[in-house]
């Protein structure tokens, strides 16, 4: 296993603690933050904000914004540049900024990492410079141009300080994911993922994209980090993708999805998982190995998604268009889960061996090229015992 060098750092652990702290009441959040370094808390939270700011592609000159946060030991100052993709969070203060944002640090953390409702902005103060004023009424007056850029920057920054909920199809297009356009998966994802959107989900996607090129891929990882503003996103690929520019809540791991032992180790380390998405090799053997290894690491109520099921019918990918019930193909394997879903109804002595998933798969949703498997307790009672399983019901009338 080769990990993204960012995966085990203290910053990632801090993000998890901030997500947990933001879940409580304001007093509980303050108590949980009391043991943290205020500067580290502020910088980590601002890094998340700048990731969200970058979603908006707005023309205009970059604007330096003074962020003023009230911490337990006094005011904390930082300068962020809205409109500069390479901008970093810099400590310090600047004189006469075009935009100044002030907020209590605890509330700032809750606004960024907390649930979308209720919004946290009671202590937020926003100031735009209004001097010396324009020299003319022309729209291209230099002061007017600068003031308009500052106004847009302020809006982008404030919007990024909330749990924004952008459209998934729009995110796919924005980052170049084929989940909309190359395929049409995003409506199905929205249907199943919407109830989890405001939760602190743990998501693992198999397959990062870009093939062997270390600086290519990651489109859907970017998409998921913005769709789940409080989620932790992990990407697995057989090639090293640690050089990809990802946000603070995204980590990459290098490994083989066909290696069951590796996947089990990974599941123990980053789980329990809420969502697993298999967009990896699409080879039937890999799809089945991955499911068997990772489904046990999915928490009850979790979702396991398999993409691009068309390969289950292609011989070159380990599939078949003739042996449609072959459990060695990914589609044939999914059909066995249907029998397991109804295991309570099987007549004893039928010859089917029990499977581990019989009592843990609670739902199957099949779409063109896409399957969503629900996990939970599949222990409902069967049909009433007095209903005969072996006699023709018509003969009893």
| Alpha carbons 112 and 48: distance in angstroms, whole number | 8
- The DSSP call for residue 66 is E
3-state secondary structure 82-117: ECCCCCCCEECCCCCCCEEEEEEHHHHHHHHHCCCC
H/E segment holding residue 233:
strand 232-237
Contact 47, 80 (CB under 8 A): no
Label residues 39-56 b or e (16+ Cβ within 10 Å = b): eebbbbbbbbbbbbbbbb
Ramachandran region, residue 6 (left: φ > 0; alpha: ψ -120 to 50; beta: rest): alpha
Sheet order of strands, 232-237 included: 2-3, 250-254, 232-237, 202-206, 273-278, 298-307, 370-375, 361-367
Based on the residue annotation, tell me whether 188 is a catalytic residue of this protein.
Answer: no
Of 188, 222, 226, 282, the catalytic one is 282
3-state helix, strand, coil in the chain (%, to 5): 35, 20, 45
Distances (CA, A) of 164 to 52, 122, 232, 244, 270: 9, 18, 16, 24, 25
Query: Are 159 and 226 a contacting pair, CB within 8 Å?
Result: no
Span between the terminal Cα atoms of the chain, in Å: 64
Question: Cα dist. 355→81, 129, 289, 361 in Å?
Answer: 55, 67, 15, 11
Cβ–Cβ < 8 Å for 29, 21: yes
Provide the token pair at 18: 């901030």
Which residues does the annotation mark as catalytic?
282
């Amino acid at each position: 296993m080769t990990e993204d060098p960012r995966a085990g750092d203290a910053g990632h652990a801090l993000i998890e603690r901030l997500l947990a702290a933001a879940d409580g009441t304001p007093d509980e959040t303050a108590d949980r933050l009391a043991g943290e370094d205020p500067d580290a808390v502020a910088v980590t939270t601002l890094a998340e904000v700048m990731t969200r700011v970058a979603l908006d592609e707005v023309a205009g000159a970059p604007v330096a914004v003074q962020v003023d946060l009230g911490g337990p030991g006094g005011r904390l100052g930082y300068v962020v540049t809205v409109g500069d993709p390479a901008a970093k969070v810099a400590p310090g203060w600047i004189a006469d900024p075009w935009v100044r944002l002030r907020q209590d640090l605890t509330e700032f953390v809750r606004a960024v990492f907390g649930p979308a409702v209720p919004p946290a902005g009671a202590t937020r103060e926003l100031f735009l410079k209004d001097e010396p004023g324009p020299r003319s009424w022309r729209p291209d007056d230099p002061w007017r141009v600068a003031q308009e850029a500052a106004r847009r920057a302020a809006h982008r920054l404030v919007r990024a300080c909330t749990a924004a909920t952008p459209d998934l199809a729009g995110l796919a297009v924005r980052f170049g994911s084929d989940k909309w356009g190359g395929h049409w998966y995003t409506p199905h994802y929205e249907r199943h993922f919407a109830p989890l959107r405001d939760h602190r989900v743990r998501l693992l996607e198999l397959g990062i994209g870009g093939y062997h090129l270390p600086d290519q891929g990651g489109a859907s990882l970017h998409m998921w980090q913005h769709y789940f503003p409080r989620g932790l996103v992990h990407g697995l690929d057989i090639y090293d993708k640690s050089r990809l520019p990802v946000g603070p809540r995204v980590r990459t791991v290098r490994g083989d999805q066909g290696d069951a032992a590796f996947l089990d180790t990974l599941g123990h380390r980053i789980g329990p998982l809420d969502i697993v998405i298999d967009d990896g090799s699409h080879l039937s053997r890999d799809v089945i190995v991955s499911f068997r290894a990772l489904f046990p690491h999915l928490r009850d109520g979790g979702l396991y998604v398999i993409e691009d099921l068309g390969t289950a019918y292609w011989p070159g990918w380990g599939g078949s268009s003739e042996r449609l019930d072959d459990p060695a193909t990914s589609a044939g394997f999914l059909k066995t889960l249907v029998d397991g879903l109804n295991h309570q109804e099987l007549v004893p002595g039928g010859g089917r061996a029990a499977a581990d998933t019989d009592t843990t798969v609670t739902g199957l949703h099949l779409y063109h090229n896409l399957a969503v498997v629900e996990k939970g307790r599949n222990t409902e009672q069967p049909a009433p015992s007095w209903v005969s399983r072996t006699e023709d019901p018509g003969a009893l009338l």
